[in-house]
Amino acid sequence: MGIVRNPDGTLLVPVPAERQHPTDDGDAGSGAKAGADPEPSDTGPTTRLLHPGEGGYDEALAEWDLEQNPDREPVVSTASGRHEAMALIHALASSPDDDVAAAVQGLDDPEACGEALRHVLVGGVHSVEAFSAEVAEAEGGEPLPAHEITTIIGEVLKVLD
């Protein structure tokens, strides 16, 4: 099962089964023998719902984006793509009622903009925070919290894909 992006921006992420390790007396709680490899447990959740701003969300969103097109080349951010991405994020953050699809259609180079945004996500939360500060410096206003920027980036990438 892959990562599922819900319409509200949350991500449903698969959680690997816990492994049970044998104890010193050889009892693993599931009949495993001492010295045997750990066995996956059938207990516990198999998925986790991540909200924007929650630990691991940025990384999961980057992985979700990669799952959408696994044959995509590694992301490369260009100066023009990053500039257009900053303007787009600022516009969408300033007017949350704006249609993301219409804003993306108005881009001069949607592919370069998408690559720049993917590059931000791949860098993790610190990259998102730095991008937010860069947007505020270039476009005016205060830096947005990382989870808000990540949510907007997710919406843009969904339209681009």
User: Which pLDDT tens digit goes with each residue over 66-76?
Assistant: 888 788 777 67
- In angstroms, the CA 56 to CA 133 distance is 21
pLDDT at 35 over 80: no
User: Which pLDDT tens digit goes with each residue over 59-98?
Assistant: 888 888 888 878 877 767 788 889 999 999 999 998 877 7
pLDDT at residue number 80:
87
DSSP states along 18-85: PEE---TTS--SSSPPTTSPPEE-S-S-SEEEE-TTSTTHHHHHHHHHHHH-TTPPPP---HHHHHHH
Q: What is the mean pLDDT of residues 119-132?
A: 88
